Chains A and B, each alone.
Chain A
């Protein structure tokens, strides 16, 4: 079991390393802290032309333009949140791989909780019914006599 976990961990690490090593254009910013933020930001912004890639992973022209935009905004001293908002205002929520909560998608966020509660209610009711049946009738149809 532990061995399996270790294999998984090594695999995951290799995957992470390879994705950054394969970055389409490894722009080097002067400041290593900025460089790290640049890497993180470009990995969480969607390439609008190829849609299932981040702008860090996409070779298309628009992704390159967006990387340049991110770099310039970083160098002008904008915060990560400001940069995300800058691009969201132009391209919409779709450009963010990590969706933000708003009233239009609230039900999506709430759905798992609602479904879980619903499942609990059903489960409790079924279990109670079973218990009641078992108490009144010893020959339950659910578990046939051996």
Chain B
């Protein structure tokens, strides 16, 4: 009887390990951000379609979200209505980070579909996006009032994601201070 104990135990352990692996498989396709818990990268970028530049230090002390998008990105079109609803809710300022795009195309998109962003910046050659570890639009970062990256969502924003991964992390006072 005893001779079956060890192989049986090993088999059971293997079943448990593989089961946990399969359960967690869907999350494995998303690569966690290396910036979580670290200060958000500081940047100065041109305002979309303008000559003046925007410095990220003006966001200090406020909770905000940075949304990486491009007109070449189909998923960005999918999430756009949700972004407009977020902007309407006034929960926090949305910063539009237009990534490797044409300013004219981006401005046309915002004019046609509506502009959810309090500020839109253009990272035309994709240099700044590397500092943020961006690898595929759309990506949305949540940054707290101390300038720390609290969360990153890769893929289209949905009401569920916004509720569960963003609003749930906000202190109740964040919206009121805007």
Whether B135 contacts A48 by the Cβ 8 Å rule is: yes
How far in angstroms is the closest Cβ of chain A from B122? 15
Is the C-beta of A12 less than 8 angstroms from some C-beta in chain B? no
Whether A88 contacts B135 by the Cβ 8 Å rule is: no
Quick one: which of B34, B100, B126 contacts A89, CB cutoff 8 A? B34
Q: A106 vs B158: C-alpha distance in the bound complex, in angstroms?
A: 36
Whether B32 contacts A90 by the Cβ 8 Å rule is: no
Quick one: which of B34, B126, B134 contacts A92, CB cutoff 8 A? B34
Known A-B contacts A48-B135, A90-B131, A90-B133; A65 and B31 likewise in contact (beta carbons under 8 Å): no
Residues of B within 8 A of A90 (CB): 34-35, 130-133
Is the C-beta of A94 less than 8 angstroms from some C-beta in chain B? yes
Whether B127 contacts A65 by the Cβ 8 Å rule is: yes
Q: Is the interface of A mostly helix, strand, loop or mixed?
A: helix
Residues of A within 8 A of B133 (CB): 90-92
How far in angstroms is the closest Cβ of chain A from B61? 24
Whether B135 contacts A65 by the Cβ 8 Å rule is: no
Known A-B contacts A90-B34, A92-B32; A48 and B136 likewise in contact (beta carbons under 8 Å): yes
Q: A88 vs B130: C-alpha distance in the bound complex, in angstroms?
A: 11
Known A-B contacts A90-B35, A92-B31, A92-B33; A65 and B126 likewise in contact (beta carbons under 8 Å): yes
A83-95 toward B: CB 8 Å interface, digit per residue (1/0)? 0000111111110
Quick one: which of A49, A69, A92, A93 contacts B130, CB cutoff 8 A? A69
In the complex, chain B residues 126-147 whose Cβ is within 8 Å of any chain A Cβ: 126-127, 129-136
Count of residues in B whose CB is under 8 Å from the partner chain: 17
Quick one: which of B33, B129, B136 contacts A65, CB cutoff 8 A? B129
Q: A94 vs B33: C-alpha distance in the bound complex, in angstroms?
A: 10
B15-44 toward A: CB 8 Å interface, digit per residue (1/0)? 000000000000000011111000000000
Is the C-beta of A66 less than 8 angstroms from some C-beta in chain B? yes
Is the C-beta of A117 less than 8 angstroms from some C-beta in chain B? no
Residues of A within 8 A of B33 (CB): 92
Residues of B within 8 A of A15 (CB): none
Q: A92 vs B32: C-alpha distance in the bound complex, in angstroms?
A: 8
Whether A48 contacts B126 by the Cβ 8 Å rule is: no
Whether B130 contacts A66 by the Cβ 8 Å rule is: yes
How far in angstroms is the closest Cβ of chain A from B143? 16
Q: A90 vs B130: C-alpha distance in the bound complex, in angstroms?
A: 7
Q: A69 vs B125: C-alpha distance in the bound complex, in angstroms?
A: 11
Chain A interface residues (CB < 8 Å from chain B):
48-49, 61-62, 65-66, 69, 87-94
28 contacts between A and B (CB under 8 A): A48-B135, A48-B136, A49-B135, A49-B136, A61-B100, A62-B126, A62-B134, A62-B135, A65-B100, A65-B125, A65-B126, A65-B127, A65-B129, A66-B130, A69-B127, A87-B130, A89-B34, A90-B34, A90-B130, A90-B131, A91-B34, A91-B135, A92-B32, A92-B33, A92-B34, A92-B133, A93-B34, A94-B31
